[in-house]
Amino acid sequence: MVTKDTTIPKLTYQQRRSNLDKANKVRRERMRIRKDLACGNLNAEEVILRSIEGGRICSGMRVKQLINALPGYGLKQTQLVMETVGIADNRRIGGLGDRQIELLLNIL
């Protein structure tokens, strides 16, 4: 019987701290993007374009967070848009196909 070595790598305190700091920075940036969407300083197309251009922060954001942050879109409207376009609940912006992006932007 062959077993795989599935041990978790041991990280130093500094490595864990650095990883946590990076994750918190990404969370804060996504929160700022959602606030800008809610205020109208950004629109969905701009966020999706940033994602396409290689913006790691935008591409990692969930589609439902993007839609829900827009003025006038609550939970029900967000679910309806996602069902209409055929986007899974856990899909991230960077994982959308060209057709899904086109349909989503037409609806929004």
Tens digits of per-residue pLDDT, 62-99? 999 999 999 999 999 999 999 999 999 999 999 999 99
The runs of H, that is alpha helices, within the chain are: 13-39, 44-52, 56-59, 63-69, 75-85, 98-107
Would you state the pLDDT for residue 55? 83
Q: Specify the higher pLDDT residue, 52 or 8.
A: 52
In CATH terms, the fold of domain 13-107 is Helicase, Ruva Protein; domain 3 (1.10.8)
Q: What value does the mean pLDDT of the chain take? A: 91
Where are the domains positioned within the chain? Answer: 13-107
Using alpha carbons, list the distances in angstroms from residue 102 to 93, 98, 105: 12, 6, 5
pLDDT class of 1 with cuts at 50, 70, 90:
low
Q: What's residue 79's pLDDT? A: 94
